[in-house]
Amino acid sequence: MSYHFNEIEAKWQKYWADNQTFKAENDSGKPKYYVLDMFPYPSGAGLHVGHPLGYIASDIYARYKRHKGFNVLHPQGYDSFGLPAEQYAIQTGQHPAITTEQNIKTYRRQLDQLGFSFDWSREVRTSDPKYYKWTQWVFIQLFNSWYNRDADKAEAISNLITLFEKEGNATVNASADEDVPHFTAEDWKSFSDSKKQEILLKYRLTFLSETEVNWCPALGTVLANDEIVNGVSERGGHPVIRKKMKQWSMRISAYAQRLLDGLETIDWPEPLKEIQRNWIGRSEGAMVSFEVDGHDAKIDVFTTRPDTIFGASFMTLAPEHELVSKITTPEQREAVEAYVEATAKRSERDRMADVKTISGVFTGGYALHPFSGEKIQIWIGDYVLASYGTGAVMAVPCGDERDYAFAKHFDIPIPNIFEGVDISEEAFMDKEKTIIANSDFLNGLSYKKAMKTIIYEIEKRGLGYGKVNYRLRDAVFSRQRYWGEPFPVYYEGGMPQMIDSKYLPLVLPEVEKYLPTEDGRPPLGNAEVWAWDTVSNSVVENSKIDHETVFPLELNTMPGWAGSSQYFNRYMDAHNNEEIFSQEAINYWKDVDLYIGGVEHATGHLLYSRFWQKFMFDKGLVPKDEYARKLINQGMIQGTSAFVYRLNGQNKLISKGLVNGHDVQPIHADVSFVNASNELDIESFKVWRPEFKDAEFMLEDGKYIVGREVEKMSKSKYNVVNPDNICKQYGADSLRLYEMFLGPLEQSKPWNTAGITGVHSFLKKLWKLYHESNTFRVSDDEPTKDNLKTLHKTIKKVEEDIENFSFNTSVSSFMIAVNELTAQKCTSRAILEPLLILISPYAPHISEELWSKLGHDESITYARFPAFDASQLVESTKNYPISFNGKMRFTIELPLDFTKDQIEEAVMAHEKTLAQLQGRTPKKVIVVPGKIVNIVG
RNA sequence: GCAGGAAUGGCGAAAUCGGUAAACGCACUCGACUUAGAAUCGAGAAACUGGGAGUUCGACCCUCCCUUCCUGUACCA
């Protein structure tokens, strides 16, 4: 009987589904273990071989943990809101829900055929109203919360109201908008309701704010920075302007420090942590106020180098800075206005990309140096960004590269405040070597001492205060899209109101067109039934809007990361319609033990979800403030593109070996026409590219050899490999083994289908080990010493490998074990049974089949992982490498229990040693028992 | 520019502690079986770890310098 992998795999996939083999219970005597994958966006293209890499790894780990006696939660779902389905809808009019449903079917079929041990009973889809009900619910919780910096946690907004009623906002230490006015308890009570709402909005963790966005009037939508090229839209080339729009934002900045600190408590890859640290961008320094000469105005700046304040010889404001028009003198007005207008036309990204050009305009206004009282010029320049810090800098040209270049360019004085440093050519920025000079009370101080002194002085004189600044900005949460979660929000007198949680979900309305409306409102503006009736608590026709009891609903939808910010908790209790999850479920599963996914989500999903978790923790909804203890980033699988070479200007394709020196143009060939020896199937190639039907092929040794190059796997490079074909030809077990065998999980590595025959023939050998001339044969013979040695060395290696996520080396060990056992002609059940359990996480189908042939009625899934017995590996002798001056020359076999002296004696007396020494006397003999002998001299 | 990571045969890679470099597999060569191909079985060749210096009895591994590549990020004040 030969190895019919297609039948075997289909059989066991059905068995697992029918028997719900992988269904996890929320309660068990076993210890829990939660293995999570980043759920996929179901794209229309389906999976290529690169996608399942992480899923295979997590599946191996999940299956291993089941063998080890854990109650394993290993769920899967779909991040099914998103742009591609919407764009398809715009083009074809097909509802994104239909597209999404079809794509999910394809994904499910492809995932199933790989034999993953997912508990599909817990599947979630972010676009399912039953699921996004809870996304909306979390949004409402955020709306009803504020961040108390004193308690360092989120609290109910009702607490804040109580505080306001008692003592106004003077004592409230909150993360809030910058422009909150000061008020007393009396003031508060005298405020109108809408005034109160307006103020509270400045404190809520999700809030409406005027955000500057890239608005494209022609397309009627907001564009992301990377959708703009040279100031016009990438799509269509329409002009884009910077415009303020009311948008929902998330006050993630309130959590900046906790997001930073939390990184120290979790086992995530260091590079990923570093990306998050940079993104959060903590910097310490001071806020300092500069008076404006002749105006009742102050310019606040944030600086990380307040120690260099005496070197400040001018100030630069962002062109958008609110004081610009106020302080500009009549003589300078024309130039300033022209500059401001020119800047407004460029996107922030454009401005940042263009770092070489120095530009700016003098406003004519002067600031007063807070310490020296000297007048210093105020300039505007687009190197200062409105969105970072205060949008203004104190320029210290001697200590900052950009200020230096600016000062040189516009001939502004560059006073030197560093002792013994020449600044005639460039700015001096080495903090370690800094000794301050020409700076009054700071003279002679080092960077550290000067920092302390100056901050103390700034605070004492009321000029400002020491401050920690974060680069992390509040996250804009509104999208002008159709295919996303609707906000559970309606507007009463312009103020947002939350729909009561008990009427959720607020289901996405039907629309005729998925584009923005002609007057520039988001796609939901096309909906005719999109108003909230506060009496019936239901969605009603827009025509009923009377602003008395029926109000318009929010037209924006939530961004892609909304649905992925809490899905890992929802899996714990996926079908609960009463709560987001029960306390029993969350307290049982607690958190994710192992999370596997791509590093590309470092500053998106992986940061936002940590923020939501911390908020949920503050609200007492979850027991852990970090949701994933350990995270692994799997590497990318790249494609191995194939090239044919066309002689320039001729219809002639020459084989790679003949290219040398010729002027050729490489052309991608589809990798499916190339065999393991890089030989091109010319006939298939001609059918595929008819323009080469009559081309002349110049061969070497009768073959056309293609060139190879590693590139990103993508359709346009014709190097995409579909797992469906691999499964058909070699089986899922081969694919799983091969993806692991390719190299370390975290590393990027190229795919090359040719190599799969190696693991495939391993599976055939494994099958043969249990068969003799086509019949299943396993004996009850006592295993030999060698059998046991092979088995136990494999147990040890595989167990260590899995624990270290070194799956590639396990596959090697399996090959070695099967090669050895075949050579030993082992048929012993005592060996062949545990061997299957070792292999089963990697190649579950063949393992199940052989396991059942061994006479087991139940799945191998819960069979106990074999115990390693060290005594089986004890050796009595060691083949000692004998080195001369560090170079190994030969080996001598000696008993392991020899002492150092015995070893030295035996080695020195050995004929090979004498021959090597040729009568010389060595200076020294190094003996490391159990390792090596090195003879020096 | 800054930060993080990497460099080992023709290719993917392996090497708990500094101790026999290249396990395992692909490709390659030869042989067996076969009408032939595929498959299978057997045998084999290959290369001293990007370059340079240092520490050491001994360095892929530790230290310093340099080169190249990948990833992230940037007028961040």
Per DSSP, the residues of A791-805 read: HHHHHHHHHHHHHTT
> Position A80: which residue type?
S
Report the nucleotide nearest the CA of residue A811, measured to C1': B24
Report the distance separating Cα A228 and Cα A238, nearest Å.
Answer: 9
User: What's the Å distance between residue A641 CA and nucleotide B11 C1'?
Assistant: 14
The helix (H) or strand (E) run that includes residue A36 is strand A32-37
3-state secondary structure of A618: helix
Q: Which residue has the higher pLDDT, A699 or A735?
A: A735
CATH number belonging to the domain at A5-125+560-633, selected among 3.40.50.620, 1.20.140.10, 3.30.565.10, 3.40.718.10: 3.40.50.620
Question: What pLDDT score was predicted for residue A224?
Answer: 63
The residue-averaged pLDDT of A32-55 equals 92
Query: pLDDT-derived band of residue A678, with 50, 70 and 90 as boundaries?
Result: confident
Report the distance separating Cα A791 and Cα A796, nearest Å.
Answer: 9
Query: pLDDT-derived band of residue A309, with 50, 70 and 90 as boundaries?
Result: very high
Report the distance separating Cα A594 and Cα A36, nearest Å.
Answer: 6
Residue pLDDT, tens place only, A228-243: 666 666 666 777 777 7
For residues A589 and A34, the answer to whether their CB atoms sit within 8 Å is yes
Question: What pLDDT score was predicted for residue A329?
Answer: 94
User: What's the Å distance between residue A677 CA and nucleotide B47 C1'?
Assistant: 21
- Which residue gives the smallest C-alpha to C1' distance to B25? A758
Q: Is the pLDDT of residue A349 over 70?
A: no
User: What's the Å distance between residue A173 CA and nucleotide B29 C1'?
Assistant: 78
The residue-averaged pLDDT of A363-371 equals 94
The residue-averaged pLDDT of A719-732 equals 91
User: What's the Å distance between residue A817 CA and nucleotide B76 C1'?
Assistant: 56
Q: Which residue has the higher pLDDT, A851 or A936?
A: A851
Residue from A203, A716, A68 nearest A60 by CA:
A68
Residue pLDDT, tens place only, A878-906: 888 888 888 888 888 888 888 888 888 88
Report the nucleotide nearest the CA of residue A382, measured to C1': B75
User: What's the Å distance between residue A682 CA and nucleotide B35 C1'?
Assistant: 27
The residue-averaged pLDDT of A109-137 equals 97
For residues A312 and A289, the answer to whether their CB atoms sit within 8 Å is no
Query: pLDDT-derived band of residue A636, with 50, 70 and 90 as boundaries?
Result: confident
The residue-averaged pLDDT of A288-311 equals 92
Residues 6+ apart with CB under 8 A from A835: A791, A794, A817, A821
Question: What pLDDT score was predicted for residue A287?
Answer: 93
Q: What distances in angstroms separate CA A893 from CA A603, A785, A877, A936, one per listed residue?
A: 57, 20, 7, 20
A454-463 contacts, C-beta under 8 A, 24 or more apart: A454/A286, A454/A306, A454/A307, A454/A309, A455/A286, A455/A306, A457/A371, A458/A286, A458/A288, A458/A306, A458/A370, A461/A370, A463/A288, A463/A289, A463/A370
Report the nucleotide nearest the CA of residue A923, measured to C1': B57
Report the distance separating Cα A343 and Cα A350, nearest Å.
Answer: 10
Report the distance separating Cα A756 and Cα A674, nearest Å.
Answer: 14
Angle (nearest 5°) at CA A259 between A258 and A265: 85
Mean pLDDT score of chain A: 90
- Which residue gives the smallest C-alpha to C1' distance to B26? A755
User: What's the Å distance between residue A228 CA and nucleotide B4 C1'?
Assistant: 29
Report the nucleotide nearest the CA of residue A352, measured to C1': B75
Question: What pLDDT score was predicted for residue A549?
Answer: 96
3-state SS, one letter per residue, for A52-104: CHHHHHHHHHHHHHHHCCCEEECCCCECCCCHHHHHHHHHHCCCHHHHHHHHH
Query: pLDDT-derived band of residue A347, with 50, 70 and 90 as boundaries?
Result: low
Q: What distances in angstroms separate CA A172 from CA A160, A356, A802, one per listed residue?
A: 8, 45, 51
Question: What pLDDT score was predicted for residue A238?
Answer: 75
User: What's the Å distance between residue A869 CA and nucleotide B2 C1'?
Assistant: 51
Sign of CA dihedral A812, A813, A815, A819: positive
Report the nucleotide nearest the CA of residue A878, measured to C1': B20
Question: What pLDDT score was predicted for residue A888?
Answer: 83
Q: Is the pLDDT of residue A352 over 60?
A: no
> Position A812: which residue type?
S
Is CATH 3.10.20.590 what the domain over A875-936 is classified as, yes or no?
yes
Q: Is the pLDDT of residue A96 over 90?
A: yes
Question: What pLDDT score was predicted for residue A600?
Answer: 86
Query: pLDDT-derived band of residue A188, with 50, 70 and 90 as boundaries?
Result: very high
Q: Is the pLDDT of residue A779 over 70?
A: yes
> ipTM score here?
0.92
> Position A144: which residue type?
N
Report the distance separating Cα A932 and Cα A274, nearest Å.
Answer: 41
The residue-averaged pLDDT of A828-835 equals 95
- Which residue gives the smallest C-alpha to C1' distance to B56? A886
Query: pLDDT-derived band of residue A918, with 50, 70 and 90 as boundaries?
Result: confident
Report the distance separating Cα A180 and Cα A475, nearest Å.
Answer: 19
User: What's the Å distance between residue A760 CA and nucleotide B38 C1'?
Assistant: 15
**Phi, psi dihedral angles at A411 (to 5 degrees):** 60, 45
Residue pLDDT, tens place only, A597-619: 988 888 889 999 999 999 999 99
Sign of CA dihedral A221, A222, A224, A226: positive
Question: What pLDDT score was predicted for residue A610?
Answer: 95
User: What's the Å distance between residue A271 CA and nucleotide B71 C1'?
Assistant: 9
Q: Can you give the residue ranges of every domain in chain A?
A: 5-125+560-633, 282-470, 637-711, 875-936
Question: What pLDDT score was predicted for residue A415?
Answer: 92
Report the distance separating Cα A496 and Cα A248, nearest Å.
Answer: 10
User: What's the Å distance between residue A923 CA and nucleotide B62 C1'?
Assistant: 26
Angle (nearest 5°) at CA A243 between A290 and A359: 50
For residues A612 and A166, the answer to whether their CB atoms sit within 8 Å is no
Neighbours of A208 (CB within 10 A): 22
Query: pLDDT-derived band of residue A350, with 50, 70 and 90 as boundaries?
Result: low
What torsion do the CA atoms of A12, A13, A14, A15 make, to the nearest 10 degrees?
50
3-state SS, one letter per residue, for A465-521: EEEEEECCCCEECCECCCCCCECCEEEECCEEEECCHHHCCCCCCCCCCCCCCCCCC
Neighbours of A203 (CB within 10 A): 23
- Which residue gives the smallest C-alpha to C1' distance to B5? A271
Q: The domain A282-470: what is its CATH number? A: 3.90.740.10
Query: pLDDT-derived band of residue A354, with 50, 70 and 90 as boundaries?
Result: low
- Which residue gives the smallest C-alpha to C1' distance to B4? A271
| pLDDT over 90 percentage in chain A | 60
Query: pLDDT-derived band of residue A204, with 50, 70 and 90 as boundaries?
Result: very high
Report the distance separating Cα A165 and Cα A188, nearest Å.
Answer: 7
For residues A251 and A274, the answer to whether their CB atoms sit within 8 Å is no
Strand partners, A394: A315
Q: What distances in angstroms separate CA A636 from CA A54, A596, A831, one per listed residue?
A: 9, 13, 37
Report the distance separating Cα A230 and Cα A240, nearest Å.
Answer: 10
Question: What pLDDT score was predicted for residue A245?
Answer: 80
Report the nucleotide nearest the CA of residue A806, measured to C1': B14
Cα Rg of chain A (Å, integer): 35
Classify residue A452 by burial, with Cβ atoms within 10 Å: 0-12, 13-18, 19+: middle
Q: Is the pLDDT of residue A36 over 90?
A: yes
| pLDDT over 70 percentage in chain A | 97
Report the distance separating Cα A586 and Cα A21, nearest Å.
Answer: 23
Residue from A341, A624, A348 nearest A473 by CA:
A348
Strand B footprint nucleotides (protein C-beta < 7 Å): 3-5, 11-16, 19-21, 23-28, 39-41, 57-59, 70-77
> Position A211: which residue type?
T
- Which of A296-310, A317-331, A641-655 has the weakest average pLDDT? A641-655
Residues 6+ apart with CB under 8 A from A377: A313, A314, A315, A362, A365, A366, A412
For residues A900 and A880, the answer to whether their CB atoms sit within 8 Å is no
The residue-averaged pLDDT of A73-100 equals 93
The residue-averaged pLDDT of A782-796 equals 93
Residue pLDDT, tens place only, A562-600: 999 999 999 999 999 999 999 999 999 999 999 999 888
> Position A772: which residue type?
E
The helix (H) or strand (E) run that includes residue A907 is helix A900-909
The helix (H) or strand (E) run that includes residue A933 is strand A932-936
Q: Which two tokens stand for residue A333?
A: 């007005």
Report the nucleotide nearest the CA of residue A738, measured to C1': B25
User: What's the Å distance between residue A883 CA and nucleotide B4 C1'?
Assistant: 39
> Position A142: which residue type?
L
Residues 6+ apart with CB under 8 A from A505: A129, A130, A132, A133, A136
Report the nucleotide nearest the CA of residue A928, measured to C1': B19
Q: Is the pLDDT of residue A331 over 80?
A: yes
Q: Is the pLDDT of residue A387 over 80?
A: no
Report the nucleotide nearest the CA of residue A881, measured to C1': B20
User: What's the Å distance between residue A791 CA and nucleotide B23 C1'?
Assistant: 17
Give start and end residues of each alpha helix (H) in A643-709.
682-688
Peptide bond into A40 cis (omega under 30): no
For residues A71 and A32, the answer to whether their CB atoms sit within 8 Å is yes
- Which residue gives the smallest C-alpha to C1' distance to B58? A886
